Amino acid sequence: MSIKREAERETLLKLVTTGKHAAYKINHARILLKADINQPVESWSDKAIASALDISIPTIERVRKRFVELGLDAALNRQHGGGKQRRLDGEGEAHLLAIALL
């Protein structure tokens, strides 16, 4: 994996060193920085990153994949919509409650 632009690297470094951010976002930035093949020192393996940051290898793989396929913002943020689809909408839920209260 390669962080191509210096601006992306600066964004990640700023994220991990300044301000208050969600822990998952900081961890995702650290994963990307450690996995970068363009860094001055050799990039880290997924196993080494997992051990150093106490993060599972599947999480590291997902973050790297999102970075490559969707870009920096997608890699830093959580994906939504992976849960179950609702069986009832608001109107159906109101109807069910009305029947239950009879």
Domain enclosing residue 32, as ranges = 6-76
Task: Please indicate, yes or no, if residue 90 is contained in any of the structural domains.
Answer: no
Structure confidence at residue 43 (pLDDT): 83
Q: Is residue 72 part of a domain?
A: yes
The full length of the chain comes to 102
Domain count, the chain: 1
11, part of any domain: yes
Beta strands in the chain (DSSP E): none
pLDDT band at residue 41 under the 50/70/90 scheme: confident
Q: Which of 5, 49, 4 is nearest to 28 (CA)?
A: 49
Residue-wise pLDDT tens digits, 43-102: 899 999 999 999 999 999 999 999 999 999 999 998 776 667 778 888 999 999 999 988
